[in-house]
Structure 1
Amino acid sequence: MFIPKSFAEHNQDEIFALIDEYPLASISYIADGKPCVCHVPVLHCYENGKHKLITHVARANQVWQHTKTPWLIVFMGASHYISANWYPSKQQSHKEVPTYNYQTVHITAQARVLDELEATKAILAQTTDFFEQKISKQLPSHTAWQLSDAPEPFIDKMCAALIAIELEIIEIQAQFKLSQNKPATDQAGVVAGLTQIATPEAVKMAQLVAKFAKS
């Protein structure tokens, strides 16, 4: 991934926070000499002093059969169009153009298939617990669903149709393009413009531009 120096993100806390917030990933892999992509939730875990990723796919999904070469896993975070009219400097020189702000994380990882019932149940439980806890934080009245809520034979049958996968991280690249290359006055103009739009996407981007703005 081409990453201009201004937008390179190396803080692992920020990178893994993005993955936690936007876990739906695009997995790129090679099958029969052709590039392929599938889209599945991928979770970040920290176990035994090591970062890794986990996911599960339908057994019918061919991706798990192509693990000889590493996968490229792409997470997309917040994004929004940025109007040049939000830059105060544009009013002075008119030498500004619009752009698009976004966050993305690319992780190269080696997949390891866990084709055992208990391993699949463990990753499925970890995945559902992650998402159910997120709902509970947003909606305190929510009762979190657990694997034990369903009959065990039913869960075992469902898991037999799934493949659990662990991903050993080889390389991480992250680009947070959040107007860091602009002067403080233009960054403030971007925040003001996005705040006026007031959609959830615009508000999120305004918060990010402010957070990563020049001090």
Structure 2
Amino acid sequence: MLIHPWDAPHDDAEWQHWLARHDFGQLAVNGGDGEPPYVQPLHFAYDPGQREIVTHLARPNPLWPALEARPDVLLSVVDDYAYVPGPWQAAPDVPPEHGVPTSLYAAVQLRCRAQVVDDPAQKAALLNRQVDHFQPRGVSARAAAGEEPYGRMLAGIRALRLEVTDVRAKFKYAGRKPAEVRERIAAGLAARGGPGDARAREHLLRRREA
């Protein structure tokens, strides 16, 4: 992922705050020789203190042999995106029809070292951590090896502990454009009101102020 200086996060807190609210991504696992990578959409829970991600997948998933052979993986999270028409991007001294369209988006890529967890008690503990991230305690029963209601289901999944070894983050929100163009883009997003436009506009204005 290309990251220009004007698209880089201002500090680690910026991408960490964003990632805390975005917990669905795509896990890319190296394929075998001559094979494309496996890409698996999934929910996950990220613990910034331990620099660790926990998740789980069904046991029949075909990526397991590739992951165990090459445990270095990449988790990619992209959101808050919007398409910007060319006229919104046009420089102040050129005709609007000469503007170049672009995309606005936020992206975080986490390079990880994967550890597969098959021990039932450890799987239950990791699964509970993930559930705790997504819903309040007490909404669902706790998973415990050999106990109802989920104990027998644990055999059908494998848990993943992902140790984060590197992070690349990008906030592409017209950071290099002059103030007049950024204001025009912000106004266009507000008027259009399409999916993602409000969040993209928030990022554009927030990063402008910073």
- Shorter chain as denominator, the TM-score bin is 0.7 to 0.9
Give 1:185's aligned amino acid. Answer: E
Equivalent-residue separation in structure 2 for 1:46 and 1:72 (angstroms): 16
Equivalent-residue separation in structure 2 for 1:62 and 1:15 (angstroms): 31
Pick from 38, 41, 52 the counterpart of residue 39 of structure 1.
41
Equivalent-residue separation in structure 2 for 1:86 and 1:207 (angstroms): 17
Q: Is 1:197 equivalent to 2:182 in the alignment?
A: no
> What SS does the aligned partner of 1:187 have?
helix
The CA RMSD over aligned residues, in Å, is 2.4
- C-alpha contact (below 8 Å) 1:128/1:145 kept by paired residues: no
Equivalent-residue separation in structure 2 for 1:77 and 1:21 (angstroms): 10
Equivalent-residue separation in structure 2 for 1:46 and 1:179 (angstroms): 28
Q: Which moved more, 1:168-177 or 1:152-161?
A: 152-161
Aligned twin of 1:67: 68
Q: In the TM superposition, what is the alpha-carbon distance from 1:174 to its structure 2 partner?
A: 1.0
Q: Deviations over 1:176-198 (max 9, x none)?
A: 10111111121111111111122
- C-alpha contact (below 8 Å) 2:141/2:149 kept by paired residues: no
Pick from 182, 186, 210 the counterpart of residue 187 of structure 1.
182
Q: In the TM superposition, what is the alpha-carbon distance from 1:211 to its structure 2 partner?
A: 0.5
Q: Is 1:206 equivalent to 2:164 in the alignment?
A: no
User: Which structure 2 residue ranges, 5 or more long, are not aligned?
Assistant: none
Equivalent-residue separation in structure 2 for 1:124 and 1:156 (angstroms): 11
Aligned twin of 1:138: none
Q: Deviations over 1:97-119 (max 9, x none)?
A: 11111111111110011111122
Alignment of 1:102-117 (within 5 A): 102-117=105-120
Q: Deviations over 1:66-124 (max 9, x none)?
A: 2343001111121001123234734x312521111111111111001111112211222
Aligned twin of 2:141: 147
User: Which structure 1 residue ranges, 5 or more long, are not aligned?
Assistant: 134-142
Q: In the TM superposition, what is the alpha-carbon distance from 1:214 to its structure 2 partner?
A: 5.3
Q: Which runs of 4+ in 1 moved over 4 A?
A: none
- C-alpha contact (below 8 Å) 1:26/1:74 kept by paired residues: yes
Equivalent-residue separation in structure 1 for 2:114 and 2:195 (angstroms): 35
Equivalent-residue separation in structure 1 for 2:193 and 2:40 (angstroms): 32
1:10–1:158: structure 2 CA closer, same or farther, 3 Å change rule?
farther
Equivalent-residue separation in structure 1 for 2:32 and 2:143 (angstroms): 41
Pick from 99, 120, 125 the counterpart of residue 122 of structure 1.
125
Pick from 131, 134, 155 the counterpart of residue 134 of structure 2.
131
Aligned length: 203
Q: Is 1:79 equivalent to 2:74 in the alignment?
A: no
Greater helix percent: which structure?
1
- C-alpha contact (below 8 Å) 1:53/1:167 kept by paired residues: yes
1:214–1:84: structure 2 CA closer, same or farther, 3 Å change rule?
farther
Q: Deviations over 1:49-80 (max 9, x none)?
A: x3111111111113333234300111112100
